[in-house]
């Protein structure tokens, strides 16, 4: 079995609870305090017949330096990517497209926010940007197990296919004229494109966008971190949908 490493208590617990990843083994530091989360990991592992071992902290540091593992790592199967056609046909729902986002922490934070905001899919390019790795899993606090991760060879082709299937495409671009709260998210299937940390969204994708939006700034300071910007826009969409629900109840 091909293995990947995930680390951190929350990430390991989420992978155990969702049950959609195959575990090889779990390594727990001998010096870890027997807190509630460590005990939960041990309990879930016993229930599922998964091997766990107590090892020296140095062993964990070989996989994850600087003690960021929180005293626990797991060797598990890689995340299963979903085909875009299968997602559209069998799952559906709003998606976030990451166009060349290169920081694993940003990708993980966006996935965590997306799950909290009820987003159903994350679309990643297979060659440009970050795919799912141990840092993404840790930063997402295991949220990668609660959302469809869609890997595509061409973001342009993916956007065109979404548009053919009645998706509205929204591009977050600091040069846009409209503010993020000027459009109505409440009655549409949308695909929100977030661009790379420095380069932004590619011109080919901007041309395909139905809406281009920005987050207004009160100063000339640099624009927001991409994960912060995604959170602001996604939770505005929640506010609008919740407002519509309250009116109709």
User: CB count, 10 Å around CB of 29?
Assistant: 21
* Tens digit of each residue's pLDDT (9 = 90 or more) over 41-63: 999 999 999 999 999 988 898 88
- The fraction of the chain above a pLDDT of 70, given in percent, is 96
pTM given for the model: 0.84
List of domains in the chain: 4-76 (3.30.1330.30), 84-248 (3.40.1280.10)
Tokens coding 80: 């299963």
Q: What span, in angstroms and rounded, lies between the C-alpha atoms of 4 and 6?
A: 7
**DSSP secondary structure, 164-204, as one string:** HTTEEEEEE-TT-SEEGGGS--TTSEEEEEEEBTTTBS-HH
Neighbour order of strands in the sheet with 167-172: 148-152, 121-125, 95-99, 189-195, 167-172, 211-214, 178-179
Q: Helix or strand or coil: residue 239?
A: helix
pLDDT at residue 210 in the model: 97
Q: What span, in angstroms and rounded, lies between the C-alpha atoms of 57 and 38?
A: 15
- The fraction of the chain above a pLDDT of 90, given in percent, is 70
pLDDT exceeds cutoff 60 at 245: no
């Amino acid at each position: 079995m091909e293995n990947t490493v995930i680390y951190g208590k929350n990430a390991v617990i989420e992978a155990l609870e969702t049950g959609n990843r195959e575990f090889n083994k779990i390594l727990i530091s001998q010096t870890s305090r027997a807190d509630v989360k460590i005990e939960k990991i041990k309990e879930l592992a016993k229930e599922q017949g998964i091997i766990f071992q107590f090892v020296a902290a140095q062993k964990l540091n070989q996989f994850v330096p600087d003690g960021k593992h929180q005293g626990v790592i797991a060797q598990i199967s890689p995340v299963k990517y979903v085909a875009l056609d299968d997602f559209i046909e069998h799952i559906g729902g709003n998606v976030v497209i990451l166009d060349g986002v290169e920081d694993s922490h940003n990708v993980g934070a966006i996935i965590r926010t997306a799950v909290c905001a009820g987003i159903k899919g994350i679309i990643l390019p297979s060659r440009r940007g970050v795919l799912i790795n141990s840092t993404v899993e840790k930063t997402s606090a295991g949220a990668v197990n609660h959302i469809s991760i869609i890997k595509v060879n061409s973001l342009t082709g993916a956007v065109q296919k979404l548009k053919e299937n009645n998706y509205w495409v929204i591009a977050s671009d600091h040069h846009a004229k409209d503010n993020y709260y000027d459009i109505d998210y409440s009655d549409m299937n949308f695909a929100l494109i977030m661009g790379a940390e420095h380069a932004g969204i590619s011109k080919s994708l901007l041309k395909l966008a139905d809406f281009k939006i920005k987050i207004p700034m009160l100063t000339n300071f640099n624009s927001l971190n991409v994960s912060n910007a995604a959170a602001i826009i996604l939770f505005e969409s929640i506010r609008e949908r919740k407002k519509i629900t309250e009116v109709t109840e």
